[in-house]
Amino acid sequence: MGETILEAIEFGGLIIDALGSAVILIGIVWGLLTWVRDRFRLTDRREAFKNCRQRIGRAIVLGLEILVASDIIHTVAVEPTFTNAGVLAVLIVVRTFISWTLVLDLEARWPWQPEHRSATGSA
């Protein structure tokens, strides 16, 4: 019985892995399609590039968060060894650093800082 639960948890981790990868892939495709659409619709091509870059960046941040969750499930539930915990710690630090730098680059603020508000009150 315990082996069946372990297999189900491992399968769930694989599903979450696939979901994280799919989020990144779909986000890249969506961003590029947005860029193609906006390039012909907008007069400012820099704005089209900015929209594309923002969509892709946000998809990567979300995908990385999902992949971290998958790594935690795999390490804690499937193979709880000190070696795997060390690898998990390194992966989490690297992915967190990437996420933070992406948020800093895309939104000009650190993730723990409040969002900038315009004069109209919208983000």
The pLDDT assigned to 106 comes to 80
Q: What is the total residue count of the chain?
A: 123
The mean of the pLDDT values for the chain is 83
Model confidence, pTM: 0.74
* Tens digits of residue pLDDT in 45-91: 888 888 888 899 889 989 988 988 888 888 877 777 888 888 888 98
Question: Residues 68, 92: contact at Cβ < 8 Å?
Answer: yes
Residue found by looking up tokens 């870059």 in the block: 53
CA distances 35 to 13, 48, 111, Å, are 33, 5, 26
